[in-house]
Structure 1
Amino acid sequence: MKTKYGHLTYCSNIHPGESWSDHFSHLQKNLPLVRADLSPDAPMGIGLRLANEASLELIKPEIITEFQTWLEREGFYVFLINGFPYGSFHKTAVKENVYKPDWATKERLDYTLRLFSILSQLLPAGIEGGVSTPPISYQFFDATDSDRKQRIAVATKHIINVLFHLIQIEKDSGKTLHLDLEPEPDGILGNVELWVQWFLDVFLPLVIPEIQTKWGLTKEVAEHTVRNHIRICLDVCHSAVSFEDNQTIVKLLKKNSIQVGRIQISSALKVVFSEQPKETMDFLVSFDEPTYLHQVVIRSDDGKLQSYPDLSQALQRGGKPFEEWRIHFHVPVFLDSYGLVSSTQKELVELLNLHKEFSITNSLEVETYTWGVLPKELQIPMAESIIRELQWVKKILESERSFGVTR
C-alpha cells in the first residue's frame, strides 16, 4: 500500500510451495483479507516470492495474463520480487543451500533474468521495481582465498549481464528496474561495509568502461546508470545480527551515493546473558530448528565480536555472563520479547525513524518468514499474522516519535 514513506508490503516467501499454482493459491487466499483490513480503498502492492519452478510457469503468456487479470480485478500490483531463494524454502532443510545456485552459476543468472522479464510485464507505469538476490555467495563454499576471488570474478560478470539487460528494458519500456543485492552474515558480501567495498572497488571500475563502450555514454552518465540499476537490499534483521550501527549505515550509503532498492523490515533474536543463563540456554534450544541458517554473532563485555555459522554451534559453546547474542531468526516485528529472550525491535524502529528522516528508499517490505518454525505458542493464522505485522509498521511510520510497541 502507498504510504507517506513509500510503498509498504510484505514478502510472500512467508507462504510455502515452489510451483506457481502453490504461490498463486496462497496469494488468492490471504491477500484479499490483508487488503480489506489495511488498504480497502486503494490498490495494494505485492512483494512476490517466485521460486525457479514458479518462474518457469509464470513467464508463459497465458499464465501471466491470467495473473495480471486477477491483480487488476482484486486491486493489487507487483513492484518487488524476492529472488534470493531459488528452490525449496519451506518444510525441508534449506540451511546454506539457500545460496545455491550462487552468482557464479548460469542457473542464477538465467533465473534472475527471467524474474526481471516477469517484473517488467507486471510493474505498473510510474513505479520502480526491484528483484532481491544473494550477496554473491556463501563464504564457506570456498576453501581458499584464490577460489573465492575466482567466484567473485565470475559472479561479477554475471551481474554485469543483468545490468545490461536492465538498461535495455528501460530503453525499450521506460521502466526502471533494479537488482537489490542483500548483505547477510556469512555471505561474501556479509555486511553493508563489504557490499560498498565490492561495489566501489570491484564493480564500478569494471563495468563503467564497458557501458561507455557499449552505449557511447560519458563516464558520469555511465556511473549514474549503474547506480540506478544496482542497489543494496537493506535487511534490518541481517544488519542487527552483525551489530551494524544504523546511523553509520545510513551515513556510509549517503556518502557513497548508494541507492537502497528496498528496506526489508525484519527483526532478529537478541539474548543478553545476565540473569538465568541456564534457563535462557534451555529456552534457546527451542529455536534451534533444522530448516534455516541461524547465524549467531556474540558480543562480549569488552566489545569483541565472535560469529558462528549456525545456532547449534553457538549452543554447544554456551552463554557467558554479560554477553549479548544476536541470532538470525526472522521473528515477528510487532513483538520485542519472547519470554527469556528479546528481539532487535529497538534497532528496527531506529532504522525506520532514520528512513522517515532521510527517505532511504521508496520500497518497504516486511520479511517475516519463519512462522512455520517458531515455537507453537507464537503461531497464529497466516492472514492475521501478516495484518498484525503491517499494522505495527504503519503505526511506527505514522507516529511522530517511535520507540516500538509490543501489542
Structure 2
Amino acid sequence: MNVKGFHLSYCSNIHPGESWEATFQNLKIYIPEVRQRLKAEGPFGIGLRISNEASIELEKPEKLAEFQTWLRKFNAYVFTMNGFPYGDFHRQIVKEKVHFPDWTTADRRDYTIRSFRILSQLLPEGIAGGISTSPISYRHWFKSADALNTGMETATQHLLEVVEQLVLIHRIAGKLMHLDIEPEPDGVLENSDEIVCLFADWLLPKGKPWLAEKFGIAEEEAEKLIKTHIQVCYDVCHFAIVYEEPADTFAKFEAAGIQIGKIQISAALKVLIPATPNVKFSLGKKLQSFVESTYLHQVVAKQEDGTLKSYSDLPQALATLADTKEKEWRIHFHVPVFLENYGSFSSTQETISIVLKEILFNPEITQHLEVETYTWEVLPEDTRLSLGESIARELSWVIGEMGEEPGKK
C-alpha cells in the first residue's frame, strides 16, 4: 500500500511453509483477506519472504510467470523481500540457526543473488527494491578475535560479490536494488556503531579498490556503489532492545553516508524489574509463558548505572531474576504492534510511534515500511487473534499512527 508516499506491507515470514507452493498458497489466502479487512484501494504491496528452497522453484520461468500473472490480477506488487531466514522458520527449533548458513558461506551469497534476480523480475518500474539479510552471523559461533576476523574477511568478499551483481542488474535491466543488513542482539552486528564499523573497516577499504578494478571506475565512484547497494534494515524492535534512540541512530547513519533501505515495524517486550522478592517471583512466573523452544528471545538489561548486560535467551535471564539489581529488561519477542501492554508487561510500541514521526518529518530516511511480527504461533494464547485479523489490525494501527484513515489507500 502507498501511505503518504511510503510503501507499506507486512512480512510474509508470518506464514509457515518453506516450499514455493506453500508460500504462494498463503499469499493467495491472506493478501485478498487483508486487503478486504483494510478496505484498501490501489496497488497492494507485498513484503515477500522466500526460503532458499522456494527461491530455486520461483526462479523457474513458468513459476515466475504464474506469480506475475497473479500479482497483476490482484493489483499487488513486491517491493521488498526478507532474505534473513534461509531455511525452515516455523514449527521447529530455529534459535540461532536462523543465521545459518551465514555470510561466511557461498550458500548465503548464492541464495541472496538468486533472490535479487527474482526481485528484479517482480519490481514495478520506477520503484527501488530491497532484500533484508542476516547481520553477518551469530557472534557466539566465533570463539576468538582471530576467528571473527577471518569470518569477516570472507563475509565482506561475499557481500561485495552481491554488490557486483546488483551493479550489473542495474546497468542491464535498469532495476535499482539494495541489500539491507539487519542488526539484531547477538548478531555479529548488533547496533548502529557496528554497522558504521562494517562500512569503515571492511566494506570500503576492501571494496573500493576491488570494485574500481572490476568496473574500471574511480574509487570514489566505487564507494558510491557500495553505499547504494548495501544499506540497513532498521528493525525497530532490535534497535529498541539495545536502547538506541531513533533520532540518534538516523543522524549517525546520515553522517556516515549510510542509507536505510527498509524499516521493519516491530515491537519488543519491555519489563520493569521490581525490587521486592515476592513481586519478582510473580513476575518470573508470568514471563514463563513467553519461554518457548522455537526462537531465540535475547534479553538486554539496563543496570543501575545505566550500562547494558545481555543474555543469550530468556531462560538465562530468568535464572538471575531473584537476585538481580537490574532495572529493566527488553526481550527479543516480536509482540503485536497494536498492543501497548500485555498484562503486567509493556512493549516498545512507543518507539514505533517515534520512528513513524521521524520519517514523516524526513521522508528521505526510507521509503519502505514492513510490519514484522512472525511469532503469532508461539505467543501466549490470550494475546492471539486469527491470523488475517492480526495482520490487518497491525497494518491498520500503523496507518492510523501515520495520520491516514484506513481504507483510503
Alignment TM-score, normalising by the size of structure 2:
0.95
> 2:142 aligned with 1:142, yes or no?
yes
> 2:95 aligned with 1:92, yes or no?
no
1:399 Cα offset (Å): 6.7
1:190 Cα offset (Å): 1.2
The aligned amino acid for 1:213 is: E
> 2:328 aligned with 1:301, yes or no?
no
Q: Secondary structure at the match of 1:185?
A: coil
- Alpha-carbon contact 1:231-1:258 (below 8 Å) kept: yes
Distance 1:321 1:150 in 2: 38
Distance 1:60 1:19 in 2: 13
1:127 Cα offset (Å): 0.3
Among 349, 353, 356, the residue aligned to 1:352 = 356
Q: Secondary structure at the match of 1:184?
A: coil
- Alpha-carbon contact 2:104-2:154 (below 8 Å) kept: yes
Look up the match of 2:316. Answer: 313
The aligned amino acid for 1:394 is: I
Look up the match of 2:231. Answer: 231
1:374–1:294 distance in 2 versus 1, CA, 3 Å: same
Please list the CA deviations of residues 120-175 of structure 1 after superposition, one character each: whole Å capped at 9, or x if unmatched: 11111100001110000000001111011101110110011000000000000111
* Count of aligned residue pairs for this structure pair: 400
Q: Secondary structure at the match of 1:234?
A: strand
For residues 279-294 of structure 1, the aligned pairs below 5 Å read 279-294=282-297
The aligned amino acid for 1:132 is: S
- Alpha-carbon contact 2:234-2:263 (below 8 Å) kept: yes
Distance 1:357 1:20 in 2: 39
Distance 1:217 1:358 in 2: 32
The aligned amino acid for 2:301 is: I
Among 374, 381, 385, the residue aligned to 1:369 = 374
1:39 Cα offset (Å): 5.5
Look up the match of 1:256. Answer: 256
Look up the match of 1:186. Answer: 186
> 2:49 aligned with 1:49, yes or no?
yes
Look up the match of 2:13. Answer: 13
1:40 Cα offset (Å): 3.4
User: Could you list the runs of 5+ residues in structure 1 that have no partner in the other structure?
Assistant: 401-407
- Alpha-carbon contact 1:116-1:131 (below 8 Å) kept: yes
1:35 Cα offset (Å): 1.6
Distance 2:404 2:354 in 1: 13
- Alpha-carbon contact 1:277-1:321 (below 8 Å) kept: no
- Alpha-carbon contact 2:37-2:389 (below 8 Å) kept: no
> 2:380 aligned with 1:394, yes or no?
no
The aligned amino acid for 1:333 is: V
- Alpha-carbon contact 2:130-2:179 (below 8 Å) kept: yes
> 2:384 aligned with 1:379, yes or no?
yes
Look up the match of 1:124. Answer: 124
Please list the CA deviations of residues 49-87 of structure 1 after superposition, one character each: whole Å capped at 9, or x if unmatched: 001111111111111100100000011001111000001
Please list the CA deviations of residues 205-251 of structure 1 after superposition, one character each: whole Å capped at 9, or x if unmatched: 11111222222222332222211110000001000111112121011
Identity %: 49
Distance 2:319 2:24 in 1: 41
Look up the match of 2:66. Answer: 66
1:11 Cα offset (Å): 0.2
- Alpha-carbon contact 2:34-2:388 (below 8 Å) kept: yes
The aligned amino acid for 2:308 is: L
Look up the match of 2:37. Answer: 37
Moved more, 346-355 or 365-374: 346-355
1:38 Cα offset (Å): 2.9
- Alpha-carbon contact 2:208-2:220 (below 8 Å) kept: no
Higher relative contact order (CA 8 A, sep 6+): 2
1:321 Cα offset (Å): 5.6
- Alpha-carbon contact 2:3-2:404 (below 8 Å) kept: no
Q: Secondary structure at the match of 2:97?
A: helix
The aligned amino acid for 2:178 is: H
Look up the match of 2:336. Answer: 332
For residues 235-246 of structure 1, the aligned pairs below 5 Å read 235-246=235-246
> 2:159 aligned with 1:155, yes or no?
no
User: Could you list the runs of 5+ residues in structure 2 that have no partner in the other structure?
Assistant: none
The aligned amino acid for 1:45 is: G
Q: Secondary structure at the match of 1:183?
A: coil
Distance 2:205 2:373 in 1: 36
Moved more, 176-185 or 244-253: 244-253
Distance 1:328 1:33 in 2: 29
1:59–1:39 distance in 2 versus 1, CA, 3 Å: farther
Alignment TM-score, normalising by the size of structure 1:
0.96
- Alpha-carbon contact 2:138-2:187 (below 8 Å) kept: yes
Distance 1:5 1:223 in 2: 28
Q: Secondary structure at the match of 2:263?
A: strand
The aligned amino acid for 2:143 is: A
Distance 1:343 1:399 in 2: 23
> 2:24 aligned with 1:24, yes or no?
yes
- Alpha-carbon contact 1:5-1:356 (below 8 Å) kept: no
Distance 2:113 2:39 in 1: 31
Please list the CA deviations of residues 180-215 of structure 1 after superposition, one character each: whole Å capped at 9, or x if unmatched: 010011111111210111112211111111222222
- Alpha-carbon contact 1:5-1:397 (below 8 Å) kept: no
Distance 1:321 1:2 in 2: 46
Q: Secondary structure at the match of 1:155?
A: helix
- Alpha-carbon contact 2:280-2:321 (below 8 Å) kept: no
1:30 Cα offset (Å): 0.5
1:349 Cα offset (Å): 1.2
1:271–1:73 distance in 2 versus 1, CA, 3 Å: same
